[in-house]
Amino acid sequence: MKKGIFISLEGIEGTGKSTQSRLLSEALTAAGYEALLTFEPGGTRIGQSIREILLKPDHKEMSFVAELLLYNAARSQHLHEVILPALERGAVVITDRYTDSTVAYQGYGRGIDIELLKSIDRISTKGFMPHLTILFDLDVQVGLERNRGVNKVDRFELEEVAFHEKVRSGYLEIARLEPQRIKIVDASKEPQDIHKQVKDIVMERLCR
């Protein structure tokens, strides 16, 4: 049994996840917890190299299966090199994206069979799931507009709106199936209001 608490933050593009993960990590540190903030794809040296392959806008020829396996490869490295050791120390680990991203993007978005995808997850993570997941839900157009504002372009931002709609509804379906683990937060609110809600959810989980 791992000692720490494992929290993942999920959502489509432009929901403000990165800002919220930073605010949460700062709040936990201020409250005296060891908080470790990390992200996928990336979070390790090898993961960072895989991230570059995955997100390069020029890699238009990448097959959906190659994409799926690369996300899983990055995740396995991340889990064993960063997440599990931190949990063993008793840290609160906050990751910006984890397995639900693969189910939402490669499963619901790309159309890869979810059961097949979960069998690969059993290889890469042995089914190790977060104790708590916060899903930032937002209108697709609003999210894409926000990202355009920061001039961020990767292979996924080049996808059409219909793809992102499938990802968003996929996330909502995942959350519907696992209400105990996944809490939905309305990401259209002001950043400070969202932060307060996130902090309340996390503190409630930590005090259990």
The partner residues of 36 in beta bridges, in order of sequence, read 93
Instruction: Output the DSSP codes for 23-71.
Output: HHHHHHHHTT--EEEEESS-SSHHHHHHHHHHH-TT-TT--HHHHHHHH
Which is closer to ligand TYD, CB of 4 or CB of 41? 41
171 binds ligand TYD (CB under 6 A): no
Read off the DSSP letter of residue 174.
H
17 contributes a contact to ligand TYD by CB under 6 A: yes
For position 76 contacting ligand TYD by CB under 6 A, the verdict is: no
156 sits near ligand TYD (criterion: CB under 6 A)? yes
Using rule CB under 6 A, residue 102 touches ligand TYD? yes
Which residues 26-65 are close enough to bind ligand TYD by CB under 6 A? 40-41, 55
Nearer to ligand TYD, 30 or 160 (CB): 160
Q: Is 105 in the site for ligand TYD (CB under 6 A)?
A: yes
Quote the CA–CA distance of 100 and 187 in Å, as a whole number: 18
Angle ∠(126,183,156) on CA atoms, nearest 5 = 70
Element containing residue 86 per DSSP (H, E)? helix 84-89
Question: Which one of 96-104, 113-121, 179-187, 188-196 is the stretch in contact with ligand TYD (CB under 6 A)?
Answer: 96-104
> Which residues make up the interface to ligand TYD (CB under 6 A)?
13, 17-18, 40-41, 55, 71, 96-97, 101-102, 105-106, 154, 156
